[in-house]
Structure 1
Amino acid sequence: MKLLNLLLIVCLVQSGCDSSQNQTDVTPPLTEKKRLLTAPVHKQKDAQMSLDAEVHKEMDWLVRSGFYDKTDLMRVFCEEMYAPGDLDETQVSAAIDARLAAHRGEQENWPTVTDCDRLDQAFERMEKRGLITIQNAGNTQTDGYEIFQVYLEEHPQPDTVIGYCFYHNQDLERAVGGLPLYLAFGPVDPQDEETKGVEIGNIVREELERVGLEVEWEGTFNDRLRVPGMVWQRR
């Protein structure tokens, strides 16, 4: 009996008996279609708790970005950024109303033409030169390129498109916070990046500088263009 018990103990120690250290975590593939305005990561909160500093900080930059209205913001905070039911919707609604009103008040002191207006003008000029331009395109460069491909498929004259220029949500957040705005660019066909990528980059640089925005760029496809010193004021 003692020998049997000893053998059982040795077996348990060696096998780990379903120990988590012997298991491999498997992440299911992402199949949900991406949206342009999205904040997909749920943050854990105690149910119906008061809005804390983190919520107000996120709300502040999203409002100042100029891309989100009341409906967008309610969806972001009550369905996407936080799980449904985690935040009190009445409190969220009141906080959004207050921040939107403050943002409208700030606009009274803005110049007639802002840096964001100049950026819009530059993007419009790029479109006339054959680029598809996208602002706030997903959350990553991969998102942005996938969205570009969708726009290309829907373009009325796809043969006239020679490339793209976009910035994504993380680029936007940094720019709203006072850091340089980073822009991704490239030709339609990724196989042409080394031969035509610089050509597209020069179009982007020329149009940004034409409207009065400063550009930093090393002149290669592997270096993203940057717009430093940009004051983010989007109505």
Structure 2
Amino acid sequence: MSDSTSIEDILGPRPEITRGHATLECAYPAGEETFTGLMMLRIATGAYEDTDELVEGFVEMAEEFEEYFPDDEPVAPTDVPARFQQVLDEYKRVVHTTSYDAYCLLSLPEILPSAGLVLSWGDGFDSSEALEVVRDLADQYAEQGIDMRGYVYAHTQDLERLVLTGDLYLGFGVLGPRDDVAAVAVGRQVVDVLRQLGLPFTWDGTVGARILVAPVLYEIELEDETGEDGIGEDAD
């Protein structure tokens, strides 16, 4: 998206959010309480590019099924690949376009680094792990002679919450020694980007509070065999 092109020039007006994520009401509802629900949830985050690795993780969970899902019907480890495919097929059935909000959020990996901010998106289970990724990315930029001023992150739990509730929390800060004034400036820079994208947000303007982007509908159409995907404008 160029400086002279607004998000509305590309997508039109942002649609009103009138429903939750499509995977919340399907054959395998996204959630943390069931085996297939967690499969659906992790597919929906879009954070796992390697589905083989994702399947391997569920095979390991199936080996200790009662520990992870004591109230769910057991799935044998050998049945996990087939069950995962069933869940994936259901995801593709109910999510057939990329939503307006998802399109905007998925543009952040291009927009924020160009503004001098490292972005960690769906990396790490919690804030601590996400910040480790931030430091690694900052080092990679430095090796290329690019000096980044700050960072923004949303870890895997943040993306799962986004799917389940429509709420996204963004962490932010400065690289190097603590500087609250500079960190607040980074926060202002982030909300300026969100405003330009037309996304709703709440932030109290302090370094101690994460930025809440809500309510948003984060649905990502998975690429088909041709590698093509679709951008949807209808959130109804």
Give TM-score, length-normalised by structure 1.
0.69
Aligned CA-pair RMSD? 2.1
Which structure is larger by alpha-carbon Rg, 1 or 2?
1
Q: Separation in 2 of the partners of 1:170 and 1:211?
A: 23
Q: 2:76 aligns with which of 76, 79, 88?
A: 88
Structure 1 match to 2:129: 143
- Give the number of the structure with larger relative contact order, counting CA–CA contacts within 8 Å between residues 6 or more apart: 2
Q: Encode CA deviations 1:132-151: one digit per residue, 9 max, x unaligned.
A: 11111201111111111111
CA contact (8 A) 2:166 2:218 kept: no
Structure 2 match to 1:75: 56
Q: 1:210 aligns with which of 186, 196, 214?
A: 196
Structure 2 match to 1:176: 163
CA contact (8 A) 1:167 1:182 kept: yes
Amino acid at match of 2:34: E
Amino acid at match of 2:88: L
Identity across the alignment (%): 26
Q: Encode CA deviations 1:196-228: one digit per residue, 9 max, x unaligned.
A: 011100111111121121111001111100111
- Greater Cα offset, 90-99 or 222-231: 90-99
Matched, 1:56 2:36: yes
| Structure 2 residue matching 1:200: 3-state secondary structure | helix
CA contact (8 A) 1:126 1:203 kept: no
Q: Separation in 2 of the partners of 1:166 and 1:205?
A: 14
Q: Separation in 2 of the partners of 1:90 and 1:63?
A: 20
Q: 2:45 aligns with which of 65, 75, 90?
A: 65
Aligned residues: 179
* 1:190 CA displacement: 4.0
* 1:120 CA displacement: 1.7
Any unmatched runs of 5+ in structure 1? 1-52
Q: Separation in 2 of the partners of 1:76 and 1:168?
A: 18
Any unmatched runs of 5+ in structure 2? 1-32, 67-74, 222-236
Over 6 Å off, 4+ runs: none
Q: Separation in 1 of the partners of 2:152 and 2:100?
A: 20
Q: Separation in 2 of the partners of 1:147 and 1:178?
A: 25
Q: Separation in 1 of the partners of 2:65 and 2:211?
A: 41
